[in-house]
Structure 1
């Protein structure tokens, strides 16, 4: 259980950090390029969301392969764990995207 919670927590914060960090750096870059930072940050956060999930769960097709092979073998517990890891990563990326949207809403 400890492994599950620590892996799920890491997936959440990795996805959260990718979206927040990418949006912040895009906002800084947009200032140098004389573009509106809030608009660029919201757009970047939305585009980074799926990539943050992929990076958090391992960056490859392996988690999907684990789900497929375990379900085919009739073992639902490892497949359910992988699905939970994906959901935690999605939750982290989604919360970060919403946070960027809330912070930039007043600036647009």
Structure 2
């Protein structure tokens, strides 16, 4: 149980950090390119969301393979764990995106 919670927490914060960090760095780049930073920040957060989830859960199709192979063999617990990791990564990416929206609320 401890391993599950540790990995789920890490997946959350990895996805959160990817979206938040990528968006903040994109806004800094936008300033240098004389583009509106808030608009670029919001757009980048939306585009990074799915990639943050993929990176947090392993960066490839391995989690999907784990889900597929365990379900076909009738083992639902490992499949449920992988789905939970994906959900936690999604929550991290979504919270970061909402935070970016809150930060940029008055600027856009």
Bucket of the pairwise TM-score, normalised by the shorter protein: over 0.9
What is the deviation of 1:107?
1.3
Distance (whole Å) between structure 2 residues aligned to residue 52 and residue 93 of structure 1: 6
What is the deviation of 1:45?
0.1
Moved over 2 A (4+): none
Query: Counterpart of 1:78 in 2: which secondary structure?
Result: helix
Q: TM-score, length-normalised on structure 1?
A: 0.99
Q: TM-score, length-normalised on structure 2?
A: 0.99
Which residue number corresponds to residue 55 of structure 1? 55
Aligned residues: 108
Q: CA RMSD, aligned part only?
A: 0.3
Please, which runs of 5 or more residues in structure 2 have no aligned partner? none
Please, which runs of 5 or more residues in structure 1 have no aligned partner? none
The 5 Å alignment of 1:81-100 reads 81-100=81-100
